[in-house]
Amino acid sequence: MPTILPMILTADPERLRDFYVGVLNAHVVEQTPPEDDGDPPFFLSLRIGDSVLGLVREAEPPAGNRTLLGIGVDDVDALLDSVRSHGGAVTGGPTDMAWGMRVAHVTDPDGNPINLQCPVRD
């Protein structure tokens, strides 16, 4: 996974997948849950050229900003005080996700959403 992963919040990630595959020849890199699971995907990552774009299912995506940055870090928990002290906010987590990532939802001082993420530690 790249260090910074731009993500789009959408009610229909399959529709956006089909758009980016059809228009930009994107390739699916990851799907959670896996396609053979039978459930609709919560998350898709697409390789477009040398970049990766994430698509995240959100039942009611915000009317304005639908972009979310996912930033890989060494230790999510260790950064939360720093987020607050630099004018940001922690809006959720940190939480160990079923797909093996520990995620904290934060915002920068302008309110832009960011997921800080690292692999779950055993």
If you write DSSP's letter for every residue of 9-23 in order, what string do you get?
Answer: EES-HHHHHHHHHHH
Q: Are residues 50 and 90 located together in one domain of the fold?
A: no
Residue 119 has pLDDT above 90, yes or no: yes
Residue 52 has pLDDT above 90, yes or no: yes
CA 88, CA 109: separation in Å to the nearest integer?
5
Residue 122 belongs to domain spanning: 73-122
Q: What is this structure's pTM?
A: 0.71
Q: Are residues 55 and 86 located together in one domain of the fold?
A: no
Residue with tokens 């904290």: 104
pLDDT band for position 68 (cuts 50, 70, 90):
confident
CA 62, CA 66: separation in Å to the nearest integer?
6
Domain count along the chain: 2
- What does the pLDDT read at residue 109? 78
The two beta strands, 113-119 and 67-72, are parallel
**Does residue 121 fall inside a structural domain?**
yes
Query: 96, 99, 76: which is closest to 30 by C-alpha?
Result: 99
- What does the pLDDT read at residue 101? 93
Cβ atoms of residues 53 and 45 within 8 Å: yes
- Residue with more model confidence, 60 or 120: 120
**Does residue 25 fall inside a structural domain?**
yes
